[in-house]
Structure formats: structure tokens, C-alpha cells
């Protein structure tokens, strides 16, 4: 059984920073891509950022480019999201997701195999 556990969410003022972490566990875990999605109240879940193995290619939603950075840890089962210059509209539950096999569409939510429970990020104005 694969589990993804997010951490690092919290309350921050506009302009501040947070670093989210996602750790995957499971004897059979392997991943082509790990990504972050978010869901604000009353809205659909949306893509934020993705990173692939082994190339390390990264992908970002337009609304976070230049502010957020996705990276992976030394272990293949860890991914981070550094969030800077946070805005109130970034308030959402942030979810980590993993896809086992190659895809040329890493931004698509429905292609991911495993999901974490989410971590709340609240940005006050």
C-alpha cells in the first residue's frame, strides 16, 4: 500500500513563505512524476506544479510561476514545494499526488495514481 503524507501547511501573512513536504511510503512505491494540486473552497482541484524522474523536468501553473518552486529530495520518494510571495488567493488545501508510469500530460489530475490527505494553507491579507 502506497501512502503520501503532506506537511508544512499553516497560516501566513500575504507576502510570506511556506515550504510543503510530501513523503511517500510503501514497499512497492515507484514514481514517474510527483505533483502538487490545490483546492480552494467552492472550486475544483487544480494543478500547481510537477516534477518527473529521472529527468527532473518541472512544470508550473501560470499563476505560480516565479513564486513557487518544486524540488525532490535525495530519496526518490520525497518532494517539496517552496512557496514565496504568497497571496490570499493561494489559500487552499494542497495535495500531493504521484503517478507511477510515464505520461506526456503530467498536469492532468485524472492521471495520478495516489493522493495524500492534503495540508491546509491559509494566507491572510
- Name the 3-class secondary structure at 28: coil
Task: Report whether 7 contacts 24 (CB < 8 A).
Answer: no
Sorting pLDDT into bands at 50, 70 and 90, what band is 1?
confident
pLDDT of residue 29: 72
pLDDT number for residue 77: 86
pLDDT > 90? residue 31: no
Q: Which backbone phi and psi does 16 adopt, to 5 degrees?
A: -85, -175
Comparing CA positions, the residue from 38, 39, 59, 48 lying closest to residue 103 is: 59
pLDDT of 109 higher than 80: yes
Per-residue pLDDT tens over the stretch 49-107: 999 988 899 999 999 999 999 999 877 789 999 999 999 999 999 999 999 888 889 99
**pLDDT tens sequence across 6-28:** 999 999 999 999 999 999 988 77
The confidence score (pLDDT) of residue 54 equals 86
pLDDT at 44 over 80: yes
What's the pLDDT at 37? 98
Rounded to 5°, the CA angle 32-33-34 comes to 140
Tell me the mean pLDDT in the region 25-32: 80
Torsional class of 51: left (φ above 0), alpha (ψ -120 to 50), beta (otherwise): beta
Looking at residue 43, its pLDDT comes to: 97
Amino acid at each position: 500500500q502506497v501512502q503520501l503524507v503532506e506537511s508544512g501547511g499553516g497560516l501566513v501573512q500575504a507576502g510570506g513563505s511556506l515550504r510543503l513536504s510530501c513523503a511517500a511510503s510503501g514497499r512497492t512505491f515507484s514514481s514517474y512524476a510527483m505533483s502538487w494540486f490545490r483546492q480552494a473552497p467552492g472550486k475544483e482541484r487544480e494543478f500547481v506544479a510537477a516534477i518527473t524522474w529521472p529527468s527532473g523536468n518541472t512544470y508550473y501553473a501560470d499563476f505560480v510561476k516565479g513564486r513557487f518552486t518544486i524540488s525532490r529530495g535525495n530519496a526518490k520518494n520525497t518532494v517539496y514545494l517552496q512557496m514565496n510571495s504568497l497571496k490570499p488567493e493561494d489559500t487552499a488545501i494542497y495535495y500531493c499526488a504521484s503517478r507511477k508510469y510515464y505520461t506526456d500530460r503530467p498536469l492532468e489530475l485524472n492521471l495520478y495514481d495516489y493522493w495524500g490527505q492534503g495540508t491546509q494553507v491559509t494566507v491572510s491579507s
